Amino acid sequence: MTDQAIHYQCLVAVHSTIAGLGLDGLAVDRVYKRKVLTDRNTVLQFVQVFFPPLAETDLGGTTGEDDFGYPVGVAVVDGDDADYELTEEQAKPVWWKQRIRGAFHAKRLQGVPVSFYCLWEPAPVIDMGLWQTANIWVSGGIIRCVTRERRP
């Protein structure tokens, strides 16, 4: 048994898994782990793992065990020139998002012993407000880390 919160274990495991994916064109030190989504102390073109403003879910369970879903946010962020043309290079955030989804959806979370499986809850492909006002491409989703925990 560990002295760390399960939700924190999930966030750390998601962060280390994404950092280990070797996302094309993204340096490992640009995969950030934060409390909340922010651009503070970041360099554009990054992936950020954070606690989203969402509740855990109680998914029932079995006799003596409960299934909980812990949300972990993933944001894929890149600068953009607000040009409407799209090149393969500019579409990298979509590729990163696809790779991240594939690393987690319907799979156990490595490094979290009570992990049962993960679900991918997608966000819009692009946040149009940020793209239009700040020339930033932001996308991502929620990785819902489902655990099976023994009742105390």
- Residues 113-131 pLDDT 10s: 999 999 999 999 888 888 8
Structural element, H or E, at residue 136: strand 136-150
| pLDDT given for residue 136 in this prediction | 87
Closest of 61, 74, 44 to residue 144, by C-alpha: 74
| pLDDT given for residue 2 in this prediction | 64
Closest of 135, 136, 138 to residue 124, by C-alpha: 138
pTM, 2 dp = 0.91
One-letter amino acid for residue 37 of the chain: L
